[in-house]
Amino acid sequence: MFVATAAIAVYLCATLYQVLQLRQHPNLRVTPLFLVAAVAIALHGYVSLRWVFTAKGLDFSLFPMSTAISFTINLIVLISSFRKPVHNLFLLLFPLAAIILATTILVGSTHVPWQAVSAPIGTHIFISILAYSLMSIAALQAALLALQNWRLRHKRLGSWLQVVPPLQTMEALLFEVLWAGFILLTLSLITGFLFFEDFFAQHLAHKSVFALCSWLFYAILLWGRHMKGWRGNTAIRWTLIGFFAMVLAYWGSKFVIEVLLG
């Protein structure tokens, strides 16, 4: 619990530093931010491992897995920030990570840990976590693009345009993340079909259906981008629709089964 509390504190300190720096000058000094972010993410990763890999087995319940996915998202963004201007996503990700950690401390596990997991199932879970993480990043990118478009359309420029990358850069980053996430989501579905004999059993049916819907929405978006040149609000809408279906597939189904019905 001490390490989790420390991770929350460092996340909040990093958020406060970023907010204060951006208020003073839009050209953020990223080196101190990256150092503090690395500490917070390292603490977060340690806690996630302890909560998932427990003495009683592997805990894949809602809140421990949410902390693991949140950690993966932050780690991907931190690594990407060294070559792409995506560090402003931390303004949303760090407070969210702190909330998830605090909730997990208060609520804890909502399911009996698995005693053992085979290599194929472990591979499926790992790929799924990466897919969910990348699509979460894409959804945040889409939300920032929507806000950027709205401010441009209503001529509320201010310092916002100096804080975020140009629209074309943001959109290019969005589709890079979407392609990577779509490939991993496809692999996640394939491994799910191959390694789960009851992939469409009653307790997994809704999850499988929403996951397939999410894959279909992303496939349509990427097809439209390649064939029709979709961009702007069209790309934003399809990205968010696909992510909403993914949220229902994973977090929605887990919440219903483990919290409401558990």
Residue 182: pLDDT band with limits 50, 70, 90? very high
Lowest mean pLDDT among 34-38, 96-100, 152-156, 248-252: 152-156
Residue 89: pLDDT band with limits 50, 70, 90? confident
Does position 222 have pLDDT exceeding 80, yes or no?
A: yes
Mean pLDDT, to the nearest integer, of 208-233? Answer: 91
Mean pLDDT, to the nearest integer, of 234-249? Answer: 91
**Number of C-alpha atoms within 13 angstroms, CB side, residue 238?**
19
- Are 192 and 124 in contact, with CB atoms under 8 Å apart? yes
Q: How far apart are CA 144 and CA 167, in angstroms?
A: 10
Of all residues in the chain, the percent with pLDDT exceeding 70 is: 83
Question: Tens of pLDDT along 90-138?
Answer: 888 999 999 999 999 998 766 666 666 677 788 888 898 899 999 999 9
Lowest mean pLDDT among 64-73, 88-97, 195-204: 195-204
Please report the pLDDT score of residue 116 as a whole number: 61
Give the position of tokens 């993340």.
177
Question: Tens of pLDDT along 148-161?
Answer: 888 777 766 555 55
Q: Mean pLDDT: which of 39-43, 87-91, 129-133, 170-174 is highest?
A: 39-43
- Are 94 and 10 in contact, with CB atoms under 8 Å apart? no
> Which residue ranges make up each domain of the chain?
1-116, 117-262
Please report the pLDDT score of residue 168 as a whole number: 80
Residue 202: pLDDT band with limits 50, 70, 90? very low
Lowest mean pLDDT among 3-17, 144-158, 192-206: 192-206
Q: Is 133 exposed, middle or buried (0-12, 13-18, 19+ CB in 10 A)?
A: buried
Please report the pLDDT score of residue 221 as a whole number: 96
- Are 225 and 235 in contact, with CB atoms under 8 Å apart? yes
**Average pLDDT across the chain, whole number:** 84
Please report the pLDDT score of residue 183 as a whole number: 96
**Number of C-alpha atoms within 13 angstroms, CB side, residue 38?**
10
- Are 220 and 226 in contact, with CB atoms under 8 Å apart? no
Residue 67: pLDDT band with limits 50, 70, 90? very high
Range list of β-strands (E), the chain: 53-54, 57-58
Please report the pLDDT score of residue 148 as a whole number: 80
Of all residues in the chain, the percent with pLDDT exceeding 90 is: 41
Q: What is the pTM of this model?
A: 0.85
Does position 75 have pLDDT exceeding 60, yes or no?
A: yes
